Amino acid sequence: MNSPLRQGKLRLQRLFVASWLYEGAGGVVKFSVVFVSVAIAALSLAGCAANQASNGTQAYASARGPQTAPKTSDRDPWTLPTPFGMFYSEVPRQEVAYQSNASPGSIIVDTKNRYLYYVTGKNQAIRYSIAVGAEGYGWHGTSTVSMKREWPSWTPTPGELKRFPDLPRYMEGGPENPLGARALYLGSSLYRIHGTNEPWKIGAAVSSGCIRMSNNDAIDLYDRAKVGATVIVR
């Protein structure tokens, strides 16, 4: 299933999602299944772009960078492709104790453990599961939320089009857009915290540099975060 998606030959059309919760020693995990039909279409895209990171270091992200990666962490999601759809695990967002000197409203991205924390008060935060940059695509630094968009559109950069000439020149926002339901733009860079059209990859190191969240979590964070909020990527 991964190979044709990387080649941009197929698109998964989600019909509906069923979910259930399991509570074990490691906490609550939600298991979901995306029931799909396969249709000939243009692309399945990662949706990020190369640009100067806000801390002054060059970070790279291609529109269709690495889409799969070997298991590198206990946070890697459990997935099971089937002829009927993609079964996958999710870690629901939750309020947690979190030691930090950051002011309420700040966003802290823990790339190693693949969590994003929205600071709500002294040593308190809401924790979200995220997908982070694959090897060679990650970055670290401090930025701010410069812009927020609902169902953002996506335009590949000239460098991306040179590497991948079959990319669309422009993609309207919507369920099939790789930026998902919401996006928070970071500084003057092209990096974003955004939703996804591939929720089964949340928890993995597979993105092209942007921080991915499930669409439900992206909407929740979007409603909480303010333009100008500090974003720390570690």
Q: Active-site residue numbers?
A: 194, 210
pLDDT-based confidence at residue 206 (cuts at 50, 70, 90): confident
- For residue range 98-121, what is the model confidence (pLDDT) as tens digits? 999 999 999 999 999 999 999 999
- For residue range 20-52, what is the model confidence (pLDDT) as tens digits? 555 444 455 555 555 443 332 233 334 554 333
The predicted model scores a pTM of 0.72
DSSP class of residue 64? T
Q: Sheet with 230-233: list strands edge to edge.
A: 94-97, 124-129, 115-121, 107-110, 230-233, 141-150, 182-186, 192-194, 211-212
pLDDT-based confidence at residue 7 (cuts at 50, 70, 90): very low
Distance CA 142, CA 110 (A): 12
Q: Spell out the alpha helix ranges (H) of the chain.
A: 2-6, 158-163, 215-224
Q: Give the domain ranges of the chain.
A: 44-75+93-233
pLDDT over threshold 80, residue 205: yes
Domain 44-75+93-233: CATH architecture, name and number where available:
Beta Barrel (2.40)
